Structure 1
Amino acid sequence: MSRPEITLVVARAANGVIGRGGKLPWHIPEDLRHFKEVTMGTPMIMGRKTFESLPGLLPGRRHVVLTRDAEWQADGAVVAATPDEALARAAADYVSVIGGAEIFALFEPHAAAVELTEVHARIEGDTVMPPFDPARWHEALRVDRPAEGGRPAFSFVRLERR
C-alpha cells in the first residue's frame, strides 16, 4: 500500500498555544463538531498524551498511538513505535494526525493538508507549535466565526501544501 494522504487537524491560538495541562485551553463547541466532522471515518494518529487527554475512544475512528514506551497499551488503541509504523497500522488511504506538538512536527513534512482552527486570542498554555510556513502552505478555505458567549473569535482554515 502506498503512503496515505495525511491531514493535520489542530486548533492553535494566536500565540501558538495548542494545549494546557494536557487539555485544550478553550471550549469551543463548534470546533469540537468540526473536529468530529473532519476526522470521522479516518484513522487518527496521535501521541500518548493526546490519547490520554481524550474523554474516551471516539466512535467511528481508529486510534493509532505513537509512543516511545514499548510497554504502553490501552484498550481500543493501536500502538506504534515509529511514524512509518503508525501509517502502516492506520491501514487507510487517508489519515488524520491530531497531536500533540511533537507528533505534528514529525508528520508536517509529509502532510498534504491542514485543518486548522485559528483561535483569535492569546491564550496561556504549556504546549505550543510554530505557525505553518506560508512558503510551504497556502490557504484554500477560510470560514470566520465571531466571538460570542465569552468565547474568542476563531476561523476554520484549510491549508494545502504548495
Structure 2
Amino acid sequence: MQKIVAIAAAAENNALGKDNDLLWHLPDDFKRFKKLTTGHPIIMGRKTFESFPKPLPNRKHIVITRDKDYTIAFDNCVVVHSLESALELTKKEDLAYIIGGGEIYKLALEYTHIIELTRVHAEFDADTYFPELNKENWEVILEEYHPKDDKHKLDFTYITYVRKC
C-alpha cells in the first residue's frame, strides 16, 4: 500500500514561510529533506514550485495549480489541477511526499499516513502556515533534537508522526 508523507519545517506557531520564501536556513534539514525525498515523487503547489531556482534532481515534481494554462518546461515536472489528480499519478509508488505549501498540506492531511516535521524552536511572522494537527489522530514515533550551532542559528527537532488507526 502506498504511503503519503507530508514533509515540512514549521516554527512553534506553525509558520512555514513568507513572501514565497523560507524563514530560516537549516543545512541539516535540507540534507534530511534530500535524503528522504530523493527517488520519490514530490507533490506541491505552484508557489512552492516557483520558489525553487530549478527542479530538484532525481524526483518527479507534481505541481498543483488552478491555472489551466500553466505549463512547466522540464521533463521531470507534471502539472495537475487537483490533489486527487496528483495522488492518482503516484498511486503505483511506495511513497509520495507532500512538500507544501500551506494550502496543499491542509488539503492533503486527510490522505497523509506519516508526517516528517522539523519543528523550528522559534516563532515567526508568516503568510503561510502548516495546519494544526489534531493530536488524537497522530502518534509521535521519533523525536530527534538538534541544538543551534555554528551552521544553525535556531534549535530544531525532527518529529515523525504516524496516523493512529
**TM tier, smaller:** over 0.9
1:2-25: CA deviation from partner (whole Å, max 9, x where unpaired): 7x3100001000111000110111
TM-score (normalizing by structure 2): 0.92
- Deviation, 1:54, is 1.2
**How is 1:54-69 mapped onto 2 (pairs within 5 angstroms)?**
54-69=52-67
- Deviation, 1:55, is 2.2
In 2, Cα distance between equivalents of 1:121 and 1:36: 23
* Corresponding position of 1:103: 104
In 2, Cα distance between equivalents of 1:104 and 1:9: 9
Counterpart pick for 2:11 among 2, 8, 13: 13
Contact 1:80 1:89 in 2 (8 A): no
In 2, Cα distance between equivalents of 1:68 and 1:148: 41
Contact 1:67 1:79 in 2 (8 A): yes
Counterpart residue identity of residue 132, structure 2: P
TM-score (normalizing by structure 1): 0.94
Runs of 4+ in 1 over 6 A off after TM superposition: none
Of all paired residues, the percent bearing the same amino acid is 36
Q: CA RMSD in A?
A: 1.3
The runs of 5 or more residues in structure 1 that have no matched partner are none
Q: Which moved more, 1:95-104 or 1:148-157?
A: 148-157
* Corresponding position of 1:84: 84
* Corresponding position of 1:143: 144
Query: SS of 1:10's equivalent?
Result: strand
Contact 2:102 2:131 in 1 (8 A): no
The count of corresponding residues between Structure 1 and Structure 2 is: 160
